[in-house]
């Protein structure tokens, strides 16, 4: 399996880990009965737990683009060293992004997000 497809798998693992962290943080704040309920009038999750929830949602949104671009690159035979580099940039930036977001460093978070977008652009440019 190529490095970029391996990183797609690891990005799925990262997304799953973020889901666990955000669910744990939310449960710590609102309690298990509320977390397991129907989510009607669900209280706002704040602090690091709220940031973990938002970081996870952002990862879900980004994963759609990452997976689509990588899979199209492979199906069309356009995967190469540049798509591998783009995947590496995306993946490592997303790890840093999750940590920086949960810690609560706003401008650095935005910068790291921009770096992950550069990784997506590198993959995209191989397709056009």
pLDDT digits (tens, 9 = 90+) for 90-122: 999 999 999 999 999 989 999 999 999 999 999
Distances (CA, A) of 3 to 67, 79, 88, 102: 13, 10, 8, 28
Q: Taking a C-beta distance cutoff of 8 angstroms, is the pair 115, 85 a contact?
A: no
Look up the domain containing 46 and give its range: 3-125
pLDDT of residue 116: 98
Number of domains in the chain: 1
pLDDT of residue 35: 77
Q: How far apart are CA 52 and CA 114, in angstroms?
A: 19
CATH of the domain at 81: 1.20.120.550
Task: For 11-63, write each residue's pLDDT tens digit.
Answer: 999 999 999 999 999 898 887 877 777 777 777 889 999 999 999 999 999 99
């Amino acid at each position: 399996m190529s490095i970029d497809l391996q990183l797609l798998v690891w990005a799925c693992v990262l997304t799953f880990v973020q889901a666990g962290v955000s669910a744990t943080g939310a449960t710590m704040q609102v309690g298990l009965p509320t977390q397991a309920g129907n989510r009607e009038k669900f209280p706002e999750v704040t602090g690091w737990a709220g940031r973990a929830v938002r970081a996870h949602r952002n990862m879900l949104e980004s994963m759609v683009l990452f997976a689509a671009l990588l899979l199209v690159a492979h199906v069309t035979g356009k995967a190469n060293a540049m798509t591998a580099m783009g995947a590496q940039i995306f993946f490592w930036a997303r790890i840093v992004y999750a940590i920086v977001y949960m810690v609560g460093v706003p401008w650095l978070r935005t910068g790291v997000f921009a770096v992950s977008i550069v990784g997506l652009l590198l993959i995209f440019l191989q397709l056009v």
